[in-house]
Amino acid sequence: MDFQLSKELLELRERVRNFICEEVIELENDPRAGAHGPSEDLRQELVARARAAGLLTPHASVEMGGMGLSHVAKAVVFEEAGYSWLGPTALNIHAPDEGNIHLMEEVATPAQKERWLRAQVAGKTRSCFAMTEPSPGAGADPSMLQTSARRDGDDYVISGTKWFITGADGASYAIVMARMEDGSATMFLTDMDRPGITLERNMDSMDRCFTGGHGVLRFDDVRVPAGDVLGEVGKGFRYAQIRLAPARLTHCMRWLGQARRAQDVALAYAAQRQAFGKPLAEHEGVGFMLADNDMDLQTSRLHIWHTAWMLDQGEKCNFESSRAKVVCSEAQWRVIDRCVQILGGQGVTGEAAVMRIFMDMRAFRIYDGPNETHRWSMARKLVAAHGKAAP
Neighbouring C-alpha atoms within 13 Å toward the C-beta of 50: 31
Which 3 state secondary structure label does DSSP give 215? Answer: strand
- How much is the pLDDT for 387? 87
Q: How far apart are CA 245 and CA 211, in angstroms?
A: 22
CA-angle at 104, arms to 100 and 105, nearest 5°: 120
- How much is the pLDDT for 286? 98
Q: How far apart are CA 357 and CA 364, in angstroms?
A: 11
> Rg of the Cα trace of the chain?
21
> What is the average per-residue pLDDT within 205-215?
96
Local confidence band at 390 (pLDDT 50, 70, 90 cut-offs): low
pLDDT tens-place string over residues 333-343:
999 999 999 99
Do residues 212 and 218 lie in contact, with contact meaning Cβ atoms separated by under 8 Å?
Answer: no
> What is the average per-residue pLDDT within 196-219?
97
- How much is the pLDDT for 281? 97
- How much is the pLDDT for 57? 98
Evaluate if residue 3 carries a pLDDT over 90: no
Q: How far apart are CA 141 and CA 126, in angstroms?
A: 26
Q: How far apart are CA 25 and CA 80, in angstroms?
A: 12
Which 3 state secondary structure label does DSSP give 25? Answer: helix
Find how far residue 3's CA is from the centre of its chain.
Answer: 24
**CATH 1.10.3720.10, domain 7-94, yes or no:** no
Tell me which residue of 296, 303, 152 sits closest to 224, measured CA to CA: 152
How does the average pLDDT of the chain come out, rounded? Answer: 96
* Residues across the chain: 391
Local confidence band at 391 (pLDDT 50, 70, 90 cut-offs): low
Evaluate if residue 290 carries a pLDDT over 70: yes
* Contacts for 331-334: CB closer than 8 Å, 24+ residues apart: 331/296, 331/297, 331/299, 331/300, 332/252, 332/255, 332/256, 332/258, 332/259, 332/296, 332/297, 332/300, 332/361, 332/364, 333/361, 333/362, 333/364, 333/365, 334/292, 334/293, 334/296
Question: What CATH code would you report for 127-234?
Answer: 2.40.110.10
Evaluate if residue 207 carries a pLDDT over 80: yes
Residues sharing a CB contact under 8 Å with residue 115, sequence separation 6 or more, in sequence order:
none
Q: Which CATH class is domain 237-389?
A: mainly alpha
> What is the average per-residue pLDDT within 28-54?
97
Q: How far apart are CA 51 and CA 228, in angstroms?
A: 30
> What is the average per-residue pLDDT within 141-150?
96
Helix axes 353-361, 318-343, angle to 10 degrees: 150
> What is the average per-residue pLDDT within 60-86?
97
- How much is the pLDDT for 287? 98
Helix axes 71-81, 7-19, angle to 10 degrees: 20
> What is the average per-residue pLDDT within 174-194?
97
Residues sharing a CB contact under 8 Å with residue 149, sequence separation 6 or more, in sequence order:
156, 157, 158, 178, 179, 180, 186, 188, 224
Residue 117, classified by CB atoms within 10 Å of its CB into exposed (0-12), middle (13-18) or buried (19+), is buried
Alpha helices for the chain (secondary structure H): 7-19, 40-52, 71-81, 87-91, 97-107, 110-112, 118-121, 236-272, 284-312, 318-343, 353-361, 371-389
Q: How far apart are CA 307 and CA 320, in angstroms?
A: 6
- How much is the pLDDT for 245? 84
Q: Backbone phi, then psi, for 339, in 5-degree steps? A: -65, -40
Domain limits, the chain: 7-94, 127-234, 237-389
pLDDT tens-place string over residues 330-371:
999 999 999 999 999 999 999 999 999 999 999 999 999 999
